[in-house]
Amino acid sequence: MAMRTITLKLHNPGKRKREIMERAMLNYSRAYQYLLDKACKHIEDIRRDYKDARGNYRANLIAKWVDKGLSKELNRFDVQPFKDALKIDFGMTLASYLSLSEIQQYANYPIAYLSEEKWQAKYENAMARLTDEAQPLYECDRQIKRIIAKSTSVKPIFFCRYATNRDYCLLYDGKNDKYYAKLYLMNVKDQNRKAIPGQKDAELTYIHKESKVLESTGRKERFILLPLSFGRWQEKYLKQALHKSEMLKTARLIKKKNEYYLSVSIDIGEAEKVETTTYLGIARGLKSPVHYTAADQDSQVVESGALLINGISGVQNRSYPLPVHEIHKLANTIVNIACRERSQVVMQALYDKGDKLQWKDQDNTSYMPILSPYSYNELIRILEYKLTEKGLPVPIRVSPVGIFYTCPACGMHTGQNRFSRDLFICVTCGKTMDIEQLGSLNLARRLNQHYQGTVKVKLENTPKGVKFTNKILGLNYYANHSNHCMDEFWDEIERIIQDFRTNIEEHTKHKDFKKKYSLIKKLESAEDLNRLIQII
């Protein structure tokens, strides 16, 4: 399943429908925040009890934390039309927070809506933290901006299913070639319900496999109908949906600058899979937004270059939050290169660790990457669906540590290798390279180094016998018979793999779980363990 999102504007809704949408979004935001406040008091219990077998947090599991009693309490907010979606939305947010909090010390607990009283309390608390030396100043500043933003916005309403009798659906007027959205936003007691009049100059047909015509029942309805406006590329998918309605999935009702939009997730289907033969590293740059290098499976460079944006070039003293349309242009160019070279795209995981590309001259002039971490991560998000549309895999994110300081020739990693703003000179072997090309080259080679790297096992002769050790694997084994020690060693490796898979939930509690999981996968996928394991 390959998903894509299209955004459709709700055209000229009128005063009554605006008020209904505004009230529904406010109720949804209040109920959503109510769940978050409740969960905050039990966050350690949720953190402990709502992991899957692999130690990951899943939205569908966390949503089950909302029991019947708590679900009934939500009725005070008049959110009956989208209560199921509200629970799933809450589960997705909390799963993301719990995952992020495991790698970021100052991960902020999510906020959806702040009443005037809560806004004042949180603002005063954030201001008080400015004097707390344990929390960085930029974190306090970011939290204050976040609180201000949340006090003036409402949470988008999540519709968890496409249906003609609840949540949301789309309709098509064949006479006038127009599209409409049908949104269930009111409960049965809502005084704003009205009967839908008959359509004299239009014939609205459900975009659904049964293609029924919307008819007036004479009853006061819980939904509203809204005409849609959109661009040509969104229309392309809507026309496909006329004949394949099952491609329409979830949606969100969004408010931006006093305008309303429906963001619809569409299953565009799986493209024919492309077998990749190269790795395409995409790194941030100082002179260009991103630099790319394609390397083959022997780590030899196939193609390399900088991707530019009109009006943005040369070394800058600040990072740019690029407009979305410019990020799409960069993504389209990267996709074209990846298709041409049949590449697996490799990119930086810019979350809790940075790439240290920025540079400060001796006169204290600072030079920042053109692309901000936010824009770079947005580029990855866009590439995830653009690449899958072409049959290519989604980008693999790897640690950015050392990509601008590690020699591609000898592997020496030191800050002294960074000779100047734009130049890399290895202090060990003398290898010279432009700093931007170095970053993308190291990214392109990162996976080869991982797959080709060996698993080191220490071998010792002790009074108790031959000892095999590997700290990450938890290998600490004494062979009983020195003549058959290697046979016993291979049996022990198989036992470790089997124990890991059988008791994976227990292993997730250990701090080295991710490292061990990576080694286990490498061992399982190896064609020849003798070549993979290096005895030292």
User: Using one digit for the tens of pLDDT, what is the confidence trace for 231-264?
Assistant: 988 999 999 999 999 999 999 999 988 899 999 9
Structure confidence at residue 65 (pLDDT) = 95
From 436, 452, 468, give the residue that closes a domain. Answer: 452
- Are 222 and 173 part of one and the same domain? yes
Tell me how far apart the alpha carbons of residues 239 and 456 are, in angstroms, rounded to a whole number: 57
Summarised one tens digit per residue, pLDDT across range 108-161 is 788 887 665 565 566 566 666 655 555 555 556 666 565 555 555 788 999 999
* Residue 489 lies inside a defined structural domain of this protein: yes
Contact 57/94 with Cβ under 8 angstroms? yes
Tell me how far apart the alpha carbons of residues 362 and 385 are, in angstroms, rounded to a whole number: 43
Span 506-514, average pLDDT: 74
- Are 361 and 308 part of one and the same domain? yes
Helix/strand/coil for 469:
strand
Tell me how far apart the alpha carbons of residues 122 and 448 are, in angstroms, rounded to a whole number: 48
Which pLDDT band, with edges at 50, 70 and 90, does 425 fall under? Answer: very high
Structure confidence at residue 149 (pLDDT) = 58
Q: Indicate whether 315 pLDDT > 90.
A: no
Contact 226/183 with Cβ under 8 angstroms? yes
* Residue 423 lies inside a defined structural domain of this protein: yes
Tell me how far apart the alpha carbons of residues 83 and 31 are, in angstroms, rounded to a whole number: 9
- Are 488 and 374 part of one and the same domain? no
Domain that holds residue 351: 278-452
- Are 448 and 461 part of one and the same domain? no
Structure confidence at residue 493 (pLDDT) = 87
Encoding tokens for residue 487?
């046979």
Q: What is the CATH number of the domain that holds 442?
A: 3.30.420.140
Tell me how far apart the alpha carbons of residues 389 and 2 are, in angstroms, rounded to a whole number: 7
Contact 389/396 with Cβ under 8 angstroms? no
- Are 293 and 373 part of one and the same domain? yes
414 closest CA partner among 422, 423, 424? 424
Q: Indicate whether 78 pLDDT > 80.
A: yes
Structure confidence at residue 4 (pLDDT) = 85
Q: For the chain, give the longest Cα–Cα distance.
A: 96
248-256 and 259-267 strand pairing:
antiparallel
Name residue 220's beta-bridge partners: 195
Span 210-225, average pLDDT: 91
Residue whose pair of structure tokens reads 């931007």 in the numeric block:
436
- Are 243 and 352 part of one and the same domain? no
- Are 459 and 437 part of one and the same domain? no
Residue 322: burial class (beta carbons within 10 Å; 0-12, 13-18, 19+): buried
Q: Indicate whether 213 pLDDT > 70.
A: yes
Residue 290: burial class (beta carbons within 10 Å; 0-12, 13-18, 19+): buried
62 vs 316, more confident: 62
Contact 297/280 with Cβ under 8 angstroms? no
Name the helix (H) or strand (E) containing 171.
strand 168-173
In the chain, pLDDT over 70 holds for what percent of residues? 87
Residue whose pair of structure tokens reads 């193609």 in the numeric block:
303
* Residue 148 lies inside a defined structural domain of this protein: yes
Q: Indicate whether 36 pLDDT > 60.
A: yes
- Are 298 and 442 part of one and the same domain? yes
Which pLDDT band, with edges at 50, 70 and 90, does 93 fall under? Answer: very high
- Are 384 and 374 part of one and the same domain? yes
Contact 234/7 with Cβ under 8 angstroms? yes
* Residue 272 lies inside a defined structural domain of this protein: no
Contact 284/378 with Cβ under 8 angstroms? no
Q: Indicate whether 6 pLDDT > 80.
A: yes
From 452, 484, 509, give the residue that closes a domain. Answer: 452
From 220, 244, 267, give the residue that closes a domain. Answer: 267
- Are 371 and 443 part of one and the same domain? yes
Distances (CA, A) of 276 to 175, 296, 307, 439, 474: 47, 10, 22, 21, 34
Span 404-423, average pLDDT: 88
First to last CA, the chain: 45
Summarised one tens digit per residue, pLDDT across range 348-384 is 988 767 888 988 888 888 888 988 888 899 999 999 9
Where would I find the H helices in 58-153? Answer: 59-63, 68-73, 83-101, 116-128, 137-151
The helix/strand count (H/E) of the chain reads as 15, 23
Name the helix (H) or strand (E) containing 331.
helix 324-341
Encoding tokens for residue 206?
């459900």
- Are 370 and 483 part of one and the same domain? no
Q: Is 0.85 surpassed by the pTM of this model?
A: no
- Are 295 and 255 part of one and the same domain? no
Name the helix (H) or strand (E) containing 456.
strand 455-462
Structure confidence at residue 148 (pLDDT) = 59
* Residue 310 lies inside a defined structural domain of this protein: yes
Structure confidence at residue 511 (pLDDT) = 72
Residue 383: burial class (beta carbons within 10 Å; 0-12, 13-18, 19+): buried
* Residue 79 lies inside a defined structural domain of this protein: yes
Total structural domains in the chain?
Answer: 4
317 closest CA partner among 416, 420, 421, 417? 421
* Residue 273 lies inside a defined structural domain of this protein: no
Contact 454/297 with Cβ under 8 angstroms? no
Q: Which amino acid is at 397?
A: R
Contact 443/398 with Cβ under 8 angstroms? yes
Over the range 462-491, which residues count as b (16 or more CB within 10 Å of their CB) and which as e? eeeebbbebeebebebebeeeeebeebbee
Query: Hey, how many other C-beta atoms are within 10 angstroms of the C-beta on 217?
Result: 9
Name the helix (H) or strand (E) containing 183.
strand 178-184
